[in-house]
Chains A and B, each alone.
Chain A
């Protein structure tokens, strides 16, 4: 059992659609991060959220940290083919750092 479970595991949508990816845990995290990874490359940090209830926006991407700091979501508005990739949440709890199970997103032109 992974400490950070992401859903859905796979997502295939048409260009222009909206989507939400979820990252859930039963543990409380001091901070959560979201990364995007393209095939054959390392993950790239998108955002870090540290306060319960915090919302951050990065162009068409909206990140939210749950009030209890046990979950987070990533919402993409009007998805584009360039958003295709593996999305990973990650965070620190109990002085240990964990990665989520990942969500593979494909945006079809």
Chain B
């Protein structure tokens, strides 16, 4: 079966712009989580969506937002980009919740210049 698909794979944006990243989970998985990964901070939890509702949120500013559609596909948006937002953004899906085990996408590498 198809894995978790993230688009785009690479993105270069300018400070102050906004960006939208997309994630298609494994078919049948209703939970989608987003993580930011940087060399210095490791994997930082952004938010989790389940059946179109945000179930959990990490400690990120309001510039980071997300949503989930009825087909479980998810998007995350970052507004007013800062240089420090440069990172690998990972989407992970699971059948119900994280302790069942995540399947990760390959990520979107965002570079803010």
Contacts and interface: CB of A to CB of B under 8 A. Distances in A.
A41 B99 contact: no
A45 B99 contact: no
Interface in B37-76: 42-43, 45, 56
A42 interface: yes
**Central interface residue in B99, B102, B106, by most chain A CB within 10 Å:** B99
B45 A44 contact: no
Nearest to B91: A42
Nearest to A88: B43
B58 to A, nearest CB: 10
Contacts of A41: 106-107
B21 interface: no
Contacts of B35: 99
Interface string A47-76: 010000000000000000000000000000
Given A48-B101, A97-B98, A42 B43 contact: no
Contact of B42 (A48, A91, A97, A101): A101
B45 A102 contact: no
Interface string A84-104: 000010111000110101100
A109 interface: no
Interface residues of A, number: 21
B90 interface: yes
Given A88-B43, A97-B45, A45 B106 contact: no
**Central interface residue in A41, A48, A88, A102, by most chain B CB within 10 Å:** A41
Contact of A42 (B45, B101, B105): B105
A43 B104 contact: yes
B92 interface: yes
Contact of A33 (B4, B97, B101): B101
10 contacts: A35-B104, A42-B4, A42-B90, A42-B92, A42-B104, A42-B107, A43-B102, A48-B100, A97-B45, A99-B45
For the complex of A and B, the 9 pairs showing the least CB-CB separation, nearest first, are A42-B104, A97-B98, A92-B99, A99-B43, A45-B101, A31-B99, A42-B90, A43-B104, A41-B106
